[in-house]
Amino acid sequence: MVHASHDVLIHCDALTVFDFLADGINNSLWRDGLRSVVLRSGAAGKVGAVYQQSYHSNQVSGIPGTYRITASRSGAELEFAVLYGPIGTRGGYYLSTEGESTRVRYALDFTPRGFRRLYWRDSHKLLAQEVQQLERLKAVLEAPSQHAA
């Protein structure tokens, strides 16, 4: 199994961060390489919700990926499993309150089986790049427009 995780401290309350992460439509606002995200079934941000994502890369456009929310505790954790995509992973976002801020840990696990063993060599690098995108989440949520209300 390959594992990668990264954490950041975001200057927002845990419910704001959780609600943003739980609605998969927001993924394209902070995850590089996503072209679009669509809720395919279930209630947005709830256990069982299935989101279809379309990735783009330098070589290929429109690579599909689908994931399901598998666990959810408002303001605390959100877990998912990739059902179909370039690399099948399981992962989650784990939140804890630190004063008026929220520490978010993004963790991914990949167990190569079948044809996915072809990705074994590059999987650690790919997972590490993905979890590092939390830095972009921090920037998006801390942008002044997010606090205007």
- Which range of 39-43, 88-92, 112-116, 121-125 scores highest in mean pLDDT? It is 39-43
Mean pLDDT confidence for 140-149: 72
Which pLDDT belongs to residue 104? Answer: 98
pLDDT band of 85, cuts 50, 70, 90: low
Return the percentage of the chain with pLDDT > 90, whole number: 60
State the average pLDDT over residues 25-50.
92
Q: How many Å apart are CA 67 and CA 49, to the nearest integer? A: 8
Evaluate if residue 116 carries a pLDDT over 70. Answer: no
Over residues 40-55, mean pLDDT: 93
Q: Is the confidence at residue 54, as pLDDT, over 80?
A: yes
Per-residue pLDDT reduced to its tens digit, 16-29: 999 999 999 999 99
**What is the tens place of the pLDDT at every residue in 58-71?**
544 556 689 999 99
- Give the CA distances from residue 27 to residues 10, 87, 112, 141, in Å, rounded to whole numbers and listed in that order: 16, 17, 25, 12
Task: Report CA 144 to chain centroid distance, whole Å.
Answer: 22
Q: Does the structure show a pLDDT above 70 at 128?
A: yes
Share of the chain residues as helix, strand and coil, in percent rounded to the nearest 5: 30, 45, 25
Mean pLDDT, range 32-42, rounded to an integer: 90
- Provide mean pLDDT across the span 80-100: 87
